[in-house]
Structure 1
């Protein structure tokens, strides 16, 4: 990995090179998530509180690694916040209501309310905002249209399609992500993208962001020009950082992205990427659901969660009795659960009308309250399968030739060559006998067990890196 970095404002981009270095194993910091922040902290000097803003269809759970690393470098837990937009998926046409989806204005207003809550809780005048993908749209709109410039000291936009995914009258017409339509046209009006009083930075990929491509392959229009280039995520006049080889999600969640955002906010490079282990981490989060095919971040009541410790090689449960069991109330909270930082766990989620979802995870080295749980639906390709196992990488895509990844010793179908374009892979198995299926991503290994699909069970191996 090259140590050479260059930066400027409106000049040559800052670059960091990703070679053969493996990803770090994560640790956990405790964030404050959507809803009224828990307690009022005394006012204090130092770097601003940080609000993390997730992308399209996502939740605050994706920021767990960033939160851990900020804490490892001196941030207190009560200074780190992560919003959960109620309806995180964008409308097909930003101007037309669509059930269980949000407009750009909806997200801007929701972010403004959350920032006000954070300022009240921390007794600070300004916050720093860090957004992934669509989260950056909400940040830019808040700063330019929602009065946010008075409440924000720093903003970091990671993989945000600032020029658009497309600039086209015919591809994605009316979309929030189309630079030819009102939302982005309004944000991009003017000679630059600067906001007076706010230190702005954009983090982008070189050529590996699926949503900053000259060809329309990843927006359903292969072979057609999108009207944008590889630099579609840059901010005019601001500091722009290029992380070479990283993909659309990694430019927010990779350790190099953390280093860039931390230095931008604090004015100094992080002292460490590694995080001290807590022997007995406290884990918590909420259960959310699906409405008309779209994930929401609305708390789900009446869901049952069980946690089992499993064998680190086979995925077998070490006991028939769950270490933790809870049925959620209206707040959707499934914990707290006090675990061990050297243990592997299986999280089982039972929700009416949804498959029973078995999620297997690597050890949690520290505490977190953004361990959110969602059901995993079956898809058409699962029809007729005896058992279905999915490997999932929420914080990045699978890069053929860049990463080492297998499920049950093979690369699942549907993972494309070239620009990393998918974060999941799935395989079907016989219903019986039940057996071990191991998922591998670089230095991370997650063991699982098969469960019968005919009885409504589905398995997810979720990577933390």
Structure 2
């Protein structure tokens, strides 16, 4: 059977006998899954030629669908409603008070497809009775995406149960399908403070998910070491960072019919090794009633 084997970091001499072996020793484990170089190798293997382009080009309309799932089981979220809001490209604040879509999440957590502007940013707000609102922020969907995954959890379960909350601070979760290498070209600035370093995102831990919140809710930041319960998990790290919340934004005020947010913003900028910077700032939702996840491409 014709086989293509793509290898990332490690011994470039590794090979699958009889296969077409391609090695990218400078790429990390998860990075190889979606890198332009891997795409080129796959296209060449399947079609016998290089692709005309590896650029992700925008279409007139992006149709977005996927599932809301529980971590780590991937079981679908039930009894939930999803609202999708257009947001300001630089602040993440809602543009108007009405969502462009309001969806009852279906069986297995399924939602969509929803037509979106490929040049706009959106907030996906997941509502479940008696639980914190979970806000998801993305870079623009340049093309149709049928595999959007809204990763959440039940109250008091999993790593979410270890995130301290209060009206005074915002708690954030970051995901990127390319490992964060602290001190090796990757940076993640929150309100001007870089939370990535060789301790919080060591190369060998292959971190793709980072939790950032005020540990013990004491208003003190300590980035000299990762939070032990988080770094002990595969592909995950956690940092003790005080992120001031918009204290005027209470859970009741930001309820299901919440208006456009006009208060404090959390400035989020990432520098990707070998590439440029991306700004994905968001409202400073209080962690007492809100969970915030940011997904970088």
Q: TM-score, normalised by structure 1?
A: 0.47
**Cα separation, 2, equivalents of 1:279 and 1:353:** 38
**Runs of at least 5 residues in structure 1 that lack an aligned partner in the other structure:** 1-197, 208-229
* 1:450 corresponds to 2:279: no
**Cα separation, 1, equivalents of 2:80 and 2:108:** 11
Counterpart of 1:369 in 2: which secondary structure? strand
For 1:406, the equivalent position in structure 2 comes to: 189
**Runs of at least 5 residues in structure 2 that lack an aligned partner in the other structure:** 154-158, 214-242, 248-262
**Cα separation, 2, equivalents of 1:358 and 1:450:** 11
**Preserved CA contact (<8 Å) 1:304 1:328:** yes
**Cα separation, 1, equivalents of 2:4 and 2:54:** 21
**Preserved CA contact (<8 Å) 1:389 1:461:** yes
Q: CA deviation at 1:407?
A: 2.9
RMSD of aligned residue pairs (Cα, Å)? 2.5
* Pairs aligned (count): 239
Q: CA deviation at 1:313?
A: 0.8
Task: Return closer, same or farther for 1:278/1:462 CA change in 2, 3 Å cut-off.
Answer: same
Q: 2:206 aligns with which of 394, 401, 421?
A: 421
**Cα separation, 2, equivalents of 1:445 and 1:359:** 15
Taking the TM superposition and a 5 Å limit, the aligned residue runs for 1:38-437 are 198-207=1-10, 230=11, 234-290=15-71, 294-296=72-74, 298-351=75-128, 355-375=132-152, 378-382=160-164, 386-393=169-176, 395-400=177-182, 401-412=184-195, 415-419=200-204, 421-428=206-213, 429-433=243-247, 435-437=264-266
For 2:253, the equivalent position in structure 1 comes to: none
**Cα separation, 2, equivalents of 1:252 and 1:370:** 15
Greater relative CO, 1 or 2 (CA 8 Å, sep 6+):
2
**Cα separation, 2, equivalents of 1:313 and 1:304:** 26
**Cα separation, 2, equivalents of 1:369 and 1:313:** 26
Q: CA deviation at 1:246?
A: 0.9
- Larger CA Rg, structure 1 vs 2: 1
Counterpart of 1:453 in 2: which secondary structure? coil
Task: Return closer, same or farther for 1:351/1:236 CA change in 2, 3 Å cut-off.
Answer: farther
More strand by share: 2
More helix by share: 1
Q: CA deviation at 1:204?
A: 1.3
Counterpart of 2:150 in 1: which secondary structure? coil
Task: Return closer, same or farther for 1:439/1:426 CA change in 2, 3 Å cut-off.
Answer: farther
Q: What are the Cα deviations for residues 117-160 of structure 1, in whole angstroms up to 9, with x where unaligned?
A: xxxxxxxxxxxxxxxxxxxxxxxxxxxxxxxxxxxxxxxxxxxx
Q: TM-score, normalised by structure 2?
A: 0.72
Q: CA deviation at 1:447?
A: 1.8
**Cα separation, 2, equivalents of 1:233 and 1:328:** 45
Counterpart of 1:261 in 2: which secondary structure? helix
Task: Return closer, same or farther for 1:276/1:453 CA change in 2, 3 Å cut-off.
Answer: closer
Task: Return closer, same or farther for 1:426/1:411 CA change in 2, 3 Å cut-off.
Answer: farther
Counterpart of 2:288 in 1: which secondary structure? helix
Task: Return closer, same or farther for 1:358/1:421 CA change in 2, 3 Å cut-off.
Answer: same
Q: CA deviation at 1:364?
A: 0.8
